[in-house]
Chains A and B, each alone.
Chain A
């Protein structure tokens, strides 16, 4: 039997799952709790400050990695969920899911470069 090529998308999927599992709760605490409850001053998240972090080359690189692997995670999970639901049209599902993730990857790169 031939070995599968799925490690390519699964690698991105696994990376996306790990990254979002670690970073999304932290983001939720900072943006959803710390700022509204006054634990962080609103100035800490001022536009200029956040822009400074994001626009830094390292900031852009980290953000690009975070956005793309999260997109590929969502794409692969959606594809497998469609399969779990018994819809066997894998070619079309793959095209749509990975197409959206691919487009998102390109757009993320473009927007981050233009920042």
Chain B
């Protein structure tokens, strides 16, 4: 195994002693097959125990270790050193308040995820004795790509709309809403539209597409948002032409299977 000396320039922020984030450099002896997370772990274990960052699975599944590496938001467990130069700059995800070092505040994102009702909303309550859902592979294929999100927030880090307006629900949460909207078991699109089709929902997106470019799981949030725009536009004009169709809760009566 060959060893490579790499300089890691890490953005540090310790709110109890610093008013502004500052860069700190570490020289790390790295193995060629390491990822950036391994180098950070080396720093934590051998050079500086005060460095704070989040990680868990080390296999691009948990979504905890999203950070900006040489200006690109990525999972540090998927950022192979063999693909990077000898000088690597590591920063916390952009567009979020820094909590400490490479850790950002998650509260806003978590609230937004919850706000889009990311769970199945069937027309009729489903009981255990009803048995299992039946779903064809074609129906599964419709939503599966949008179900791959691991909430790493890389898309929020590059989204210019989220940077301009922090009220924007954002790519991952809107893609997740779309994932349920196009699920054949779900009839909750109308219930989600109060948030999804508001001025801070899909309509804030101007289709820059950066979210889809950086997603480490190949979710395509930009496509999800555009598809939701089409469905919401159809709903908008339906409501305008047939205002009596909506019940008191604001949910329109829908035929089963009309989830797209």
Contact = CB atoms under 8 A, between A and B. Distances in A.
B82 to A, nearest CB: 35
Nearest to B198: A1
B164 A4 contact: no
Interface string B161-204: 10010000000000000000000000000000111011111010
A2 B232 CA distance: 13
B199 A84 contact: no
Contacts of A88: 164
A23 to B, nearest CB: 20
A6 B230 CA distance: 12
Given A14-B230, A83-B164, A6 B206 contact: no
A80 B193 CA distance: 22
Contacts, number: 46
Contacts of B161: 84
Nearest to A9: B203
Interface of A: 1-4, 6-8, 10-11, 14, 80-81, 83-84, 86, 88
A7 B195 contact: no
B206 A84 contact: yes
B193 A3 contact: yes
The bracket for how many chain B residues form the interface is: 20 to 34
A6 B203 contact: yes
Interface of B: 160-161, 164, 193-195, 197-201, 203, 206-208, 229-230, 232-233, 236-237
Contacts of B195: 1
B229 A14 contact: yes
A84 B208 contact: yes
Contacts of B206: 80-81, 83-84
Nearest to A79: B206
Interface centre among A2, A6, A86 (most CB of B within 10 A): A6
Q: Summarize B's interface: helix, strand, loop or mixed.
A: helix
Nearest to B206: A80
A86 B164 CA distance: 7
7 contacts: A1-B199, A1-B201, A7-B237, A11-B237, A14-B229, A81-B206, A84-B160
Contacts of A84: 160-161, 206, 208
A2 B198 contact: yes
B233 A11 contact: yes
B149 to A, nearest CB: 23
Contacts of B232: 7
A68 to B, nearest CB: 17
Contact of A10 (B198, B200, B229): B229
B236 A7 contact: yes
A8 B240 CA distance: 11
Given A83-B206, A84-B160, A86-B164, A1 B236 contact: no
Given A6-B199, A14-B230, A83-B206, A1 B237 contact: no
B160 A4 contact: no
B216 to A, nearest CB: 24
Given A1-B194, A2-B198, A10 B203 contact: yes
